[in-house]
Structures are given as C-alpha cells and as structure tokens.
C-alpha cells in the first residue's frame, strides 16, 4: 500500500471533487490512486532546475476578437436540457441546508 | 461497385460520377450496421432517416462538396444538434446539444453524410472502451478482445466497414491506439489543426480531433476538410497547406526516418518489433536515410500525462453539476449535496479516479510537487522532440506494445491500462502529429490480430508526414485485409 495517499486524504479529495464515496469505494480508490501516485513519482528522477513550465503546446496570449454583437443561443435552448427549470431560470434545491457540505 | 468495400475517395468519386448514388451508398452502410452492430456495439445511435434524407439531397444536386455523399461515423464526444451527445456516460444520457461541433459541421458542409455516433470510453477516459456506460465495443478481428480506446467505436466501425470514414479524438493516444488494435489508419493531427469547438473537453491542452480510414489518402482528405482556423476556438490555427496535405502521392525526396531504441523495448510483443523493423527496411529500400535518435524521456510520458490530463479533467468536468444539464440525483439535502450525489451517480469509476487524481495534484501543498513538475517535464519532452526533428523528418515506432488484449484483462488495474499509451502520449504532450498505420499482424490463438506502426512528425508538417506514411503503405498490403466477420 502506498504511503503517498491515505484514506482520509481520499475522503478530503472526494469532498473537494464533489463526489460521495462509500467506505468500500474509499478503500478501493485509495489503493488505486496510491499506485498511480507511486508511479508518477518517477518524475522526481529528472533534473528540472531552471526549466519553465509548459501548460500548453501553443503558447499564445490574449487572443482577441472584435467586441461585436452576435446571436447566442436562446433562453429556451439554454434551458432545454435542464433537469428542472422555472423559466427563465434553472431550478435548484435550497442552497443552505443540513447536508454534509453545509 | 459495392460501396462498403471501396475506399472513401473511390466511393466519393463513384458518387460524383453517378455510378453509385449517395442513397445506395448510405443504404449499403445502414444495412451493414443493421447486420453487424448488434455484435460489435460500435454505434450507440444511428441516424438512418436523416442520413437517407441527406443522401437524397446529394443525389438531387442540392448538396455538393469534396465529400458529397460519403457516409461518416462520429465519436459521441462531438456535439451534434441532431440526436444525442452522451460521451457514453450516464451523466449525459439523453443530452441534446444546442450546437454542432465545427469539425462535424465542416464535414457536412463538404457534403458528408453523418451515419451516427459511436461508443467510447466514458468522457474519452480509457484505452479499451470498457469504461462505457452503454456497454463495451468488441474488436471485429476477435470479439473476445477490446478495440482499444477511447475512440474504440469509431475504430471498430471503420475496421468492420460500417462507415467510409470515422472521426475520433486523441488526448493521449485515443485515435492511434484503437486504430492500431483494429487495423486501420488513425491520425492525431497537430494540436490546433482542427477546431475543438463542440468537442466535450477532457484535457483541453491535449485534445485533438482526427480521422480513421483504410488509407492514408482518405485520412489526409478528412484531416484537410476538418482543419483550419475557427473563431470559436482561439487555439485553432490557420495554416495554408490544405492542398499539399491532401496530395499524399507527391514524392518525398530522401526522407530521414528516425528510430529510437526507447520505443523498441524487449517487453513489446516480438511481432510488434518485427513489424517496425520491416517498416524500417521498406523505408531504407525506398531510399530513406535512417537516423538513430535518442529519446530518453519516452519512459516519462505516462507519468507526466497522468498528472497533466487528470488536472485538466478535474477542472473541465466540474461543469457537470446536475443543474444545467445532465444527470440529477432524485434526492438531495441542499445544493452541495445535489452536486455530489448527481456526480457520484452520473460518473463511472475511471472518471471519478481521474477527477480525484487531478484535484489531488492541483491541491495546495501538492501543486508544485506534482502539477508544476509535470509541466516542466512537458517542456523537456517538447525540447527533446524539437532536437530530434533537426535530424529527422519523422520518427518511426510502434503505436502500442502489442495487439489487442482480452476484455477484462486490465479492467481492474488502472496503471496497467494507462501504460497502453506509453508510445502515443508524448506526441500529445508536445502537440505534434502522429499517424498509426496498419503495420502487420500477430497470430494469437488462431486469430490474426492487427499491429500498428506509428510515424510522428513536427508540428504542422502533416503534408510531409502523410507522404512518408503513403510511401510505406504503397509497399505493403496490411491495410487491404479485413476482419473475418
């Protein structure tokens, strides 16, 4: 079992990821994520001193377009896949509640 | 002419010459889908009526273009205003996109007929199509084996002649690996070559759209039609080489073919290394110069990828919240609980693993140790390729370590599954193009299983890469073999 990630770490990451996991899933994912983290640790073998990070293959900045009006999708189109709607809004349960995220 | 046994370009020409009608062609493919899709599960949704209606318009002269009447399959990660766009995920079951991906629109503007949407690993995460919420795709060469992934439905549809050309996406090998395992041509173009607008994002700095076909010329034509600047994708590039790209039979004068020992591991299937050796001999006999290249960072590709790609995925997939579209849990205490329950019910295990991995490597305290380090290695990988392409025009290597594996063989070992992409991921990290070509066969238990050889070239040099690929194809007949269905 990897030392890199504990079951508590996985619970915390799941919470940040907005995922609910059962205790069995926590145990299962901890083992699998630990194996992946052990593997990716091989990057520590490389000398990266002075190398600048590369986040993207096309290192472009500030791609601008004209600030011109153009048609977008209609409200009805935007809402058509909503699981619940109260036109012209998306409908959600109460934001503050008793749940674990509150 | 039997439309389902012709190359894409031959079929296109026959339709243009009116020796075959577009309706006959569409019907022939739809019949074949009817006959074989139940066994292979390559398509999730087929647009029979719409395809025939479009074909009638081609025959009536109302729709024309470079692909007039050519039936094409689309991976279900590309949005279409018609039908569903599900990414083979429970999360998007029934989702109807309000827009069509630019790549698909360009195919249709050129007269192509979209036959349907193909099954994939959920949200393009996987190498076997076993991570599909709508059942696995089976390999037409041996239905006990996987077709590869994540674009396995498109690869299987192409191999089984259930379309004249198919479209997939490649984030770490998701076109080239299934192309290799299914015995067809697969192209990951240069990052920026084809607009990503309407492509459901997995890892935005790596994702690229590309074709599956039986021949290099067909793949070059589809790449050409889909490519070009799109105002809706600020990373799409305008490069004025479309005609050169499609002209694959132009001779290449004494190409320099690079070969790196890091790709020729003893752990590869011996038949795979023999296939690359044979390809090398073909190039040498054709007058190519063979150049030894050292690519020590090849072995670090998967480690880099499994930090960068999940990091981007964890951010991209945050949009699936059970509110705006997609699956919503029936019961929830409050909004945060609704997010968590909807996502836990909607996503499969592999998607959850990658979201958590990405969240972990981006979290404060680990960001520098994992994500930032990986981005620096990514720079080194790009520099290593840049140096290699000073000395050669294309690198020749295996697409995968071996042929298709059995269903279930790697299903519960994520790391073993990830290592499938060892020879393909670095092209994505650097943003450069790669082509997988039918390179031979390995015999396993009485089944001939396809092997793919890969050519990797410098950014935006597809024109030369396709010509070099065509040179190999001209001297082989692997691409003409079909699976015993």
Q: What is the ipTM of this complex?
A: 0.94
**DSSP helix/strand/coil, B11:** helix
CB within 8 Å: A95 and B335? yes
> What's the pLDDT tens digit per position in B329-377?
999 999 999 999 999 999 999 999 999 999 999 998 999 999 999 999 9
Mean pLDDT of the residues in chain B: 97
Q: Is B174 a catalytic residue?
A: yes
Selecting from A17, A41, A98 the residue whose C-beta is nearest the C-beta of B359 gives A17
Selecting from A5, A20, A93 the residue whose C-beta is nearest the C-beta of B344 gives A20
Strand partners, B142: B139
Q: How far is A84 from chain B (nearest CA, A)?
A: 7
Instruction: List the 287-306 stretch of B: residues with Cβ below 8 A of A.
Output: 297, 299-300, 302-304, 306
Q: Is B150 a catalytic residue?
A: yes
Class of the CATH-defined domain A1-43: mainly alpha
Q: How far is A95 from chain B (nearest CA, A)?
A: 5
C-alpha–C-alpha distance, residues B422 and B355, integer Å? 21
C-alpha–C-alpha distance, residues B382 and B390, integer Å? 13
CB within 8 Å: B96 and A80? yes
Strand partners, B398: B453
Lowest mean pLDDT among A31-35, A65-69, B430-434: A65-69
Tell me if B222 sits within 8 A of B441, measured CB to CB.
Answer: no
User: How high is the pLDDT of residue B445?
Assistant: 87
From the candidates B127, B150, B151, B314, give the one annotated as an active-site residue: B150
User: How high is the pLDDT of residue B420?
Assistant: 86
> What's the pLDDT tens digit per position in B180-211?
999 999 999 999 999 999 999 999 999 999 99
User: How high is the pLDDT of residue A98?
Assistant: 58
Helices (H), B204-249: 216-226, 242-246
User: How high is the pLDDT of residue B219?
Assistant: 98
CB within 8 Å of A32: residues ≥ 6 apart:
B353, B414, B415
Structural domain spans, chain A: 1-43
Identify the DSSP state of B368. Answer: I
C-alpha–C-alpha distance, residues B455 and B305, integer Å? 20
Averaged pLDDT for residues B12-19? 98
Percent of chain A with pLDDT strictly greater than 90? 74
CB within 8 Å: A80 and B327? no
Tell me if B77 sits within 8 A of B169, measured CB to CB.
Answer: yes
Lowest mean pLDDT among A98-102, B51-55, B378-382: A98-102
Kindly tell me if the per-residue pLDDT of B218 is higher than 60.
yes
Element (H, E) at B166: strand B165-170
CB within 8 Å: A90 and B324? yes
User: How high is the pLDDT of residue A102?
Assistant: 43
> What's the pLDDT tens digit per position in A38-69?
999 999 999 999 999 999 998 787 888 889 99
- Sheet holding B43-46: strands in order across? B43-46, B113-118, B71-75, B165-170, B208-213, B185-188, B434-444, B447-456, B394-398, B256-260, B289-293
Structure tokens at A71: 């048609």
Q: Is B88 a catalytic residue?
A: no
**Nearest CA-CA partner of B100 in B88, B123, B117, B125:** B117
pTM for the whole thing? Answer: 0.97
User: How high is the pLDDT of residue B104?
Assistant: 98
> What's the pLDDT tens digit per position in B63-85?
999 999 999 999 999 999 999 99
Kindly tell me if the per-residue pLDDT of B242 is higher than 90.
no
A20 in contact with chain B, both atoms CB, cutoff 8 A: yes
- Structural domains in chain B? 3-251 (3.90.1300.10)
Averaged pLDDT for residues B24-43? 98
Q: How confident is the model at residue B89 (pLDDT cuts 50, 70, 90)?
A: very high
Kindly tell me if the per-residue pLDDT of A100 is higher than 70.
no
Q: Which residue reads 């038949």 in tokens? A: B271
Sign of CA dihedral B182, B186, B191, B196: negative
Residues in chain A within 8 Å Cβ distance of B98: 73, 77-78, 80
Averaged pLDDT for residues A11-33? 97
CB within 8 Å: A43 and B337? no
> What's the pLDDT tens digit per position in B287-331?
999 999 999 999 999 999 999 999 999 999 999 999 999 999 999
Q: How confident is the model at residue A99 (pLDDT cuts 50, 70, 90)?
A: low
**Nearest CA-CA partner of B139 in B117, B3, B149:** B149
A78 in contact with chain B, both atoms CB, cutoff 8 A: yes
Averaged pLDDT for residues B108-128? 98
Q: Which residue has the higher pLDDT, B387 or A60?
A: B387
CB within 8 Å: B376 and A48? yes
Q: Cα separations (Å) of B378 from A51, B359, B374, B422, B456?
A: 10, 19, 6, 14, 17
Kindly tell me if the per-residue pLDDT of B138 is higher than 90.
yes
User: How high is the pLDDT of residue B325?
Assistant: 96
User: How high is the pLDDT of residue A1?
Assistant: 64
């Amino acid at each position: 079992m990897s030392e890199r990630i504990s079951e508590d770490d996985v619970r915390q990451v799941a919470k940040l990821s907005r995922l609910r996991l059962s205790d069995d899933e926590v145990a299962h994912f901890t083992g699998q994520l630990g194996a992946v983290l052990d593997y990716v640790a091989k990057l520590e073998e490389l000398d990266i001193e002075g190398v600048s990070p590369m986040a993207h293959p096309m290192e472009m900045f500030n791609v601008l377009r004209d600030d011109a009006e153009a048609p977008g999708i209609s409200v009805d189109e935007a809402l058509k896949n909503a699981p619940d709607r109260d036109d012209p809004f998306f409908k959600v349960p109460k934001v503050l509640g008793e749940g674990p995220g509150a | 002419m039997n439309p389902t046994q012709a190359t894409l370009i031959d079929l296109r020409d026959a339709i243009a010459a009116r020796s075959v009608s577009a309706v006959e062609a569409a019907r022939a493919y739809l019949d074949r889908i009817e006959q074989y899709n139940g066994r292979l599960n390559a398509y999730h949704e087929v647009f029979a009526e719409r395809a025939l209606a479009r074909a009638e318009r081609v025959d009536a002269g109302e729709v024309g273009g470079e692909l007039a009447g050519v039936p094409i399959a689309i991976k279900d990660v590309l949005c279409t205003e018609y039908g569903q766009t599900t990414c083979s995920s429970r999360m998007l079951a029934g989702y109807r996109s309000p827009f069509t991906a630019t790549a698909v629109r360009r195919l249709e503007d050129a007269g192509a007929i979209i036959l349907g949407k193909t099954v994939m690993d959920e949200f393009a995460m996987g190498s076997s199509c076993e991570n599909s919420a709508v059942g696995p795709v089976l390999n037409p060469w041996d239905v006990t084996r996987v077709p590869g992934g994540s674009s396995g439905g498109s690869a299987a549809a192409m191999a089984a002649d259930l379309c004249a050309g198919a479209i997939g996406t490649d984030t770490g090998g998701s076109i080239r690996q299934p192309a290799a395992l299914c015995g067809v041509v697969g192209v990951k173009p240069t990052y920026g070559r084809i607009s990503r607008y309407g492509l459901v994002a997995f890892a935005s700095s790596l994702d690229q759209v590309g074709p599956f076909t039986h021949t290099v010329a067909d793949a070059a034509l589809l790449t050409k039609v889909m490519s070009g600047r799109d105002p809706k994708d600020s990373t799409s590039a305008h490069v004025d080489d479309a005609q050169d790209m499609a002209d694959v039979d132009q001779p290449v004068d004494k190409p320099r073919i690079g070969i790196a020992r890091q790709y020729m591991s003893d752990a590869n299937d011996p038949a795979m290394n023999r296939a690359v050796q044979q390809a090398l001999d073909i190039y040498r006999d054709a007058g190519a110069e063979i150049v030894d290249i050292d690519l020590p960072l090849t072995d670090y590709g998967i480690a880099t990828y499994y930090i960068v790609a999940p990091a981007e995925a964890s951010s991209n997939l945050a949009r699936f919240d059970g509110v705006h579209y997609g699956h919503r849990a029936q019961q929830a205490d409050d909004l945060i609980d609704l997010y968590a329950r909807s996502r836990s019910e909607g996503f499969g295990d592999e998607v959850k693993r990658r979201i958590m991995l990405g969240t972990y490597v981006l979290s404060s305290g680990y960001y520098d140790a994992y994500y930032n380090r990986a981005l620096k290695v990514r720079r080194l990988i790009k520099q290593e390729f840049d140096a290699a392409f000073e000395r050669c025009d294309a690198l020749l290597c295996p697409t995968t370590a071996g042929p298709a594996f059995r269903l279930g063989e790697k299903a519960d070992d994520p790391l073993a599954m990830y290592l499938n992409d060892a020879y393909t991921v670095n092209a994505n990290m650097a943003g450069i193009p790669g082509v997988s070509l039918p390179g031979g066969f390995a015999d396993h238990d009485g089944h001939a299983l396809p092997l793919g050889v890969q050519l990797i070239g410098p950014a935006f040099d597809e024109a030369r890469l396709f010509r070099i690929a065509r040179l190999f194809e001209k001297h082989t007949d692997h691409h003409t073999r079909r699976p015993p269905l």
